[in-house]
Structure 1
Amino acid sequence: MTILLPTSTAGSLPKPSWLAEPEKLWSPWKLEGEELVAGKQDALRLAVDDQRQAGITIVGDGEQTRQHFVTTFIEHLSGVDFEKRETVRIRNRYDASVPTVVGAVARPKPVFVEDARYLRAQTDQPIKWTLPGPMTMIDTLYDAHYKSREKLAWEFAKLLNEEARELEAAGVDIIQFDEPAFNVFFDEANDWGIATLEKAAEGLKCETAVHICYGYGIKANTDWKKTLGSEWRQYEQTFPNLQKSKIDIISLECHHSHAPMDLIELIRGKKVMVGAIDVASDTIETPEEVADTLRRALQFVDADKLYPSTNCGMAPLSRRVAQGKLNALGAGAQIVRKEIAA
C-alpha cells in the first residue's frame, strides 16, 4: 500500500552519548575496535526505532555509523591524504582544515554497503541512504592533483555511482545526494554540477533525491543566513535545471526559512521533500505548525508528490529535541493526510 505524504528525515540524527560526544559535529568515537562496530549497529537500531515510534515512513540510518556526512565517504577513498592538510573556505562561509587530493581518486572497496544491508534487515519499511554529492565533496578538500573543480567532481561522480549501484543492490529504495553547495556556487551548479549529480545517479532503478539546504544549525551557517536578507531566492538559480534533470525527488528547506514557498513551482512535476522541521533551533514544532507548512506547500506540489521531511540533518541537536521534532513531523503529516482523505 502506498502511503500519502511519506515522511523521512534529511539524514542525520543525534548519536547516543555512549557512542560519541552529543550535540557536536565530527565528534570522536568513544568506543574502538569490535566494540565500536557493535556500538554503531546498536545506535543504528535505536535510530530506526526512534523513527518508527514517531511514525516516520521512509527510514534512514540516522548516519549513526559515520562522523560526518561528507568526510566519512572520502576517508574510504584512495588518492586523498588526511595527514596533509590545508585551510580552505568551505562554501564561502568559514575556514576549515581539510585533507588534500594527492593523486587519482579511487574507491578500493564499498563504503556504506554493509551498513545499508544491516539497515535493510531492521525494517520492512522503505529505506533511504544518503551520500554526499560531487560538488559538495570537492568543496570539502584541497585539490593538489587535478587542479580543476570540475574534473575532480566528475571523478567523484563515477565513484559515487559505483557506491550507489551497490547500495541499490543491498535493498535501498531511495538514494539521496546531499548538495548544499548548490545553494552557493550557482554558475558551477548549472554549468556542470547538476550533470555530475546525474552521473552519480546514472543507471539506478531505485528513486534518487538531491538535498539542497542552508546547512546544519551551526554558528557559521546561522551567521551566514543573517546576511541573506528577508527573502532567500537561492533555489531560483538551480531549480529550472533540476526540474529538467533525471533526479526524482528534490529536497528543500521550508520551515522558518526565508525561501519563498512559491519557488516550488519551478520544480513542478518532481517529487518534493518539504523541510517542515527547523534544525537550527531547539524549539520543538507542534504537529499543527508542521501541518501548516505542508498545507502551504500543497499550493505548489501535488499531494502524491509531497514528502514531508526535516530541513537538514539533526546531528548537532540533543536526542530529546530531535525525538520531539520527529514526533511532530509524523503527527503533522498525519493531520494533513486526514484532511486530504476527508
Structure 2
Amino acid sequence: MKKLLPTSTAGSLPKPSWLAQPETLWSPWKLEGDELAAGKQDALSLSLQEQQQAGIDIVSDGEQSRQHFVTTFIEHLDGVDFEQRETVRIRDRYDASVPTVKSAVSRQKPVFVEDAKFLRQQTQQPIKWALPGPMTMIDTLYDAHYKSREKLAWEFAKILNQEAKELEAAGVDIIQFDEPAFNVFFDEVNDWGIATLERAIEGLKCETAVHICYGYGIKANTDWKKTLGNEWRQYEEIFPKLQQSNLDIISLECQNSRVPMELLELVRGKKVMVGAIDVATHTIETPEQVADTLRKALQFVDADKLCPCTNCGMAPLPRHVARGKLQALSAGAEIVRRELAG
C-alpha cells in the first residue's frame, strides 16, 4: 500500500554550523581532509534524522556534502578548469565568476555514489537524489572548448547518465534533475533541452524527476521575480513538451508564487511535486496554508500523482526555520490525506 501524498524536499537543507557557514550559498567548508569527509557523513545522518522527525516520506541527503548543487558535480569531472575563471551571466539574471571548459569533458569516477550508499544503509524509506540538469550545468560555466551550448549539454547528458545508473544501483529510488534554466531559455528547452534530459535518464528503471523553480531566495532571484508581472506563465512554454517526455515527475514552485495553478493541467498524467513551502521567506507556513495549496493543486492533479514538496532548496535558511517548514509540509499533507480518506 503506497502512501497517498508522499512528502519530500526539492533538494538542499541547511548545513550544521560546524561544517559550513550558516545561511550562505556556496559556503566554504570549516573542516578539511579526513575531518571534512567524516563531517559530511555526520551532517548527512543529521539531515536524514531531521527529515524523519519532521515526518518527510521520501528522504534525501539534504545536499550536505556539496557546496553548490551544480559546481560540486562539475568539480569531479575532467575538462573543466576551476583556476581559470570567467564572469558570465547566469540565468540571464546575475553575473558570477565561473570555471572554464578547457577540453573534452568526462567523468573518471563516481561523484555522489558513496554518499548515496551511506544514506541507503541508514534508512528503509524511499530516497530521492538530485543532480544538476545539462542545461543548468552549461549555464554555470564558460565554454572555451565546444563553443556550443547544445554540444556541451549532450556531453553532460552522457556523463549524468553514467552517474544516474550508478546511483540507481546504489539503491536510489528517484533521481531528480535540477533545471532552473528551463524557466529562462524556452526555445532551447524545446529544441534540445528536454531531449538532453531524456538522454540523461536513458535506461533507468527508477523514477525520474525534473525540478524547475524560480531559484533560491537570494536577492538576484527575488528582484527578478518582481519583473515577472502578476502571472508567472513560464511553465506554459515548456510543460506541453515535458508532458510528452519520458520523465516521470515534474517538480515545480507553487507556494507564494504567481504561477497560475491551472498550468498544472498541461502535465496531466505525470506525477507532480507541488512546491507548497516558500523558501524565499523566514515565515513558517501553517499546516492549513500548505493544505490550501495542495487542495488547489488537486483540481488539476490526480491525488495519486500529487507529491507535496518545497519550492526549492533551503540551504540559505536558518536551521530552525527549515525544520519548522518541513513539519508544516508534513502536517499540511496529513490534513489533506484525511480529507481524501474521509
Shorter-chain TM-score range: over 0.9
| 2:321 is aligned with 1:318 | no
Matches within 5 A, 1:152-191: 152-191=152-191
1:141 aligns with 2:141: yes
Q: How does 1:63-212 map to 2 (within 5 A)?
A: 63-212=63-212
In structure 2, the partner of 1:258 is 258
- Give 5+ residue unaligned stretches, structure 1: none
Matching residue's letter, 1:232 = W
Aligned residue for 2:37, secondary structure, equals helix
Q: Quick one: distance in 1 between partners of 2:314 and 2:224?
A: 19
Match of 2:335 in 1: 335
Secondary structure of residue in 2 paired with 1:292: helix
1:245-324 alignment to 2 at 5 Å? 245-324=245-324
Q: Which amino acid aligns with 1:40?
A: K
Report the TM-score, using the length of structure 2 for normalisation. 1.00
What does residue 244 of structure 2 align with? Answer: 244
Report the Cα distance in structure 1 between the residues aligned to 2:32 and 2:308, rounded to whole angstroms: 36
Report SS of the residue matched to 1:61.
Answer: coil
SS in structure 1 at match of 2:172: coil
Q: Which amino acid aligns with 2:86?
A: E
Q: Distance in 1 between matches of 2:238 and 2:263?
A: 11
Q: Deviation string for 1:69-103 (max 9, x for gaps)?
A: 00000000000000000000000000000000000
> SS in structure 2 opposite 1:95?
strand
Amino acid at match of 1:137: M
SS for the counterpart of 2:39 is helix
* 1:118-177 deviation per Cα after TM superposition (whole angstroms, max 9, x unaligned): 011111000000000000000000000000000000000000000000000000000000
For 2:203 and 2:257, locate their aligned partners in 1 and report how far apart those are by CA, in whole Å: 34
Letter in 2 for 1:331: A
Cα RMSD (Å) = 0.4
The whole-number CA distance in structure 1 between the counterparts of 2:243 and 2:31 is 44
Which residue identity is paired with 1:212? I
Residue 216 in structure 1 maps to residue 208 in structure 2? no
- The normalised TM-score by structure 1 is 1.00
- Quick one: distance in 2 between partners of 1:62 and 1:231? 31
What is aligned with 1:226?
226
Secondary structure of the corresponding residue to residue 140 of structure 2:
coil
Amino acid in structure 2 at the alignment position of 1:175: I
Q: Structure 1: how far apart are the matches of 2:304 and 2:74?
A: 36
In 2, Cα distance between equivalents of 1:86 and 1:32: 27
Q: Distance in 2 between matches of 1:165 and 1:210?
A: 16
Give secondary structure in 2 for the equivalent of 1:63: coil
- 1:62 maps to a residue whose letter is G
Q: Which 4+ runs in 1 deviate beyond 2 A?
A: none
The answer for the alignment partner of 1:40 in structure 2 is 40
Alpha-carbon distance in structure 2 between the residues aligned to 1:310 and 1:122: 23
Structure 2 gaps, min length 5: none
In the alignment, the residues of structure 2 paired with residue 172 and residue 269 of structure 1 have an alpha-carbon distance, to the nearest angstrom, of 23
> Secondary structure of the equivalent of 1:26?
coil
Task: Write the deviation string for residues 170-199 of structure 1: whole angstroms up to 9, x where unpaired.
Answer: 000000000000000000000000000000
Q: 1: CA distance between counterparts of 2:261 and 2:169?
A: 36
Identical aligned residues as a percent: 82
Letter in 2 for 1:63: E
**Post-superposition CA distance 1:7-49 (Å, at most 9, x none):** 0000000000000000000100001111111110110011101
Query: SS of the counterpart of 2:18?
Result: coil
Distance 2:236 2:261 in 1: 11
Give the SS at the match of 1:38: helix
In 2: Cα distance, 1:101 partner to 1:208 partner: 28
